[in-house]
Amino acid sequence: MLQIFHAPRTRSFRVLWLAEEIGLPYEIKRETLGKPSAELLAANPSRKLPAIRDGKTAMSESTAIMHYLTQKYGPPPLALTPAQDRYADYLQFLILGEASMAAQLNLVMRTLFMTPHDQKQNFTVDATKTIFRLRLKDVEAQLNKGEYMAGEFSAADISVG
């Protein structure tokens, strides 16, 4: 059975949401940030969440996990195929949700919550916020075309969400 290593307020939420949408049976392996279990370390030595185990397969990159699960278990419409008209939109926003949005905010959140007060506002935080706001313009432009990132609800919406 698929095991999903999860802690609240992490990107493992994406993987749980997708598994629910697919109707995929899974087991939650609850984790505490900063205190990885031996099982998590075996699945992902970098301690990163999310992580999954699916038989002998272990993965830890949220959008890669989503792609893997949709290809292995979830037929369209949650995963568009190259033959579908909006495939490029699907792929663009599946990846954008992490690479251009969530990853940017990770550093801002760490800075705002973990650094001394006099270091919370700095050039990097301000630049990262600006970059994130620009990425939101991509999302807004896409949603001006319709209710979802790629025509119908898909893993791309979960990723951006």
Q: What is the pLDDT of residue 141?
A: 94
- Among 1-5, 101-105, 125-129, the minimum mean pLDDT is found in 101-105
Q: What is the pLDDT of residue 122?
A: 83
pTM listed for this prediction: 0.85
Q: What is the pLDDT of residue 76?
A: 66
Whether residue 132 contacts residue 56, with contact meaning beta carbons closer than 8 Å, is answered with no
Give residue-wise pLDDT tens across range 66-116.
999 999 987 667 899 899 999 999 999 999 988 888 877 877 887 888 888
- Mind giving me the DSSP string for 93-159? HHHHIIIIIIHHHHHHHHHHHHS-GGGSS-HHHHHHHHHHHHHHHHHHHHHTT-SSTBSB--HHHHH
d(CA 18, CA 126): 32
Determine the average pLDDT of the residues in 139-152: 94
- Tokens 């830890």 belong to which residue? 60
d(CA 31, CA 129): 29
Give residue-wise pLDDT tens across range 28-81.
999 998 899 999 999 999 998 999 999 999 999 999 999 999 999 876 678 998
Spell out a b/e string for 133-152, using b for 16 or more CB atoms within 10 Å of the CB, else e.
eebeeebeebeeeeebbbbb
